[in-house]
Chain A
Amino acid sequence: EVHLLESGGGLVQPGGSLRLTCAAAGFTFSNYAMSWVRQAPGKGLEWVSVISASGASTYYADSVKGRFTISRDSSKNTVFLQMKSLRADDTAVYFCAKVPLKWVVPGAYDYWGQGALVTVSS
């Protein structure tokens, strides 16, 4: 059974940093791209970033480019989202999601974690 578990969320001041972790289980992690999607309180879904299965390719939404960094450690079946220069509008639940192929597109995200809440506030 596929299982994704996010951790590392919390309250951070504007301008601060936070690193989210997504631990994966139940599939061959190194064979699949992984993604982060966020949802601001009461709002819809917003794609944030994706990393290829090898980790060699990464892509970001314009809203986070230059501030967020996605990475993965296939030895630990883990994907990370390093977030810097956080702003109030980064407040959201951050979901990690599995991409059903090695490359970043095309393909529906088939499994999602429960999410980690990040609150940016002073």
Chain B
Amino acid sequence: DIVMTQTPLSLSATPGQPASISCKSSESLLHSDGKTYLCWYLQKPGHPPQLLIYEVSNRFSGVPDRFSGSGSGTDFTLKISRVEAEDVGVYYCMQSLQLPITFGQGTRLEIK
């Protein structure tokens, strides 16, 4: 199984300031089709996960452009350029390259 490791596990951010989360996979997530299958979710309190970023750096429909993803191979980063109060919740990375699908432990973002 591919192990996904996120850091930090908790993050306190100031509104208007940037924040970033790291995700590392135990194996490369590069598929033979040339795409890398790493995505990011935000789970707000009491809600299901919502897709933010797919294939490392593509924002899903309706996701604000303050969210961006980067990385390759086994090292990935989610960045929020200017944190807003509505960004609170738990962020998960997920690999969908192969079964079993695996998730990072989650990073809890709180606002200072």
Which residues from chain A sit less than 8 Å from chain B, CB to CB? 35, 37, 44-47, 50, 59, 61-62, 95, 104-115
The secondary-structure label for the interface of chain A is loop
B48 near A108: Cβ-Cβ < 8 Å: no
Contact of A45 among B49, B54, B98, B99 (CB under 8 A): B49
- Contact of A50 with B99 in the complex, beta carbons under 8 Å: yes
Instruction: Output the nearest chain A residue to B58 by Cβ-Cβ distance.
Output: A108
CA distance A46 to B11 in the complex (A): 22
Query: Is there contact, CB below 8 Å, between A106 and B98?
Result: yes
Tally chain B residues at the interface, Cβ within 8 Å. 28
Q: Provided the pairs A106-B35, A107-B37 are in contact, do residues A112 and B101 lie with their beta carbons within 8 angstroms?
A: no
CB-CB < 8 A to B99: which residues of A? 47, 50, 59, 104-105
Contact between chains at B49 and A112 (CB < 8 Å):
yes
B19, chain A: closest CB distance, angstroms: 20
Q: Is the CB of B92 within 8 A of A109?
A: no
Knowing A105-B97, A105-B99 are in contact, say whether A110-B51 is a contact too (CB < 8 A).
yes
In the assembled complex, how far is the CB of residue A113 from the closest CB belonging to chain B, in whole angstroms? 6
In the complex, the answer to whether A110 meets B60 with C-beta atoms within 8 Å is yes
Q: 16 pairs across A/B with beta carbons < 8 Å? A: A44-B90, A44-B103, A45-B41, A45-B43, A45-B49, A45-B103, A45-B106, A47-B99, A47-B100, A50-B99, A95-B48, A105-B99, A107-B96, A108-B37, A108-B39, A110-B60
Give me 13 other A-B pairs in contact (C-beta within 8 A), A108-B39, A109-B96 excluded. Answer: A44-B103, A44-B106, A45-B43, A46-B103, A50-B101, A59-B99, A62-B100, A95-B49, A105-B99, A106-B31, A106-B98, A107-B54, A109-B101
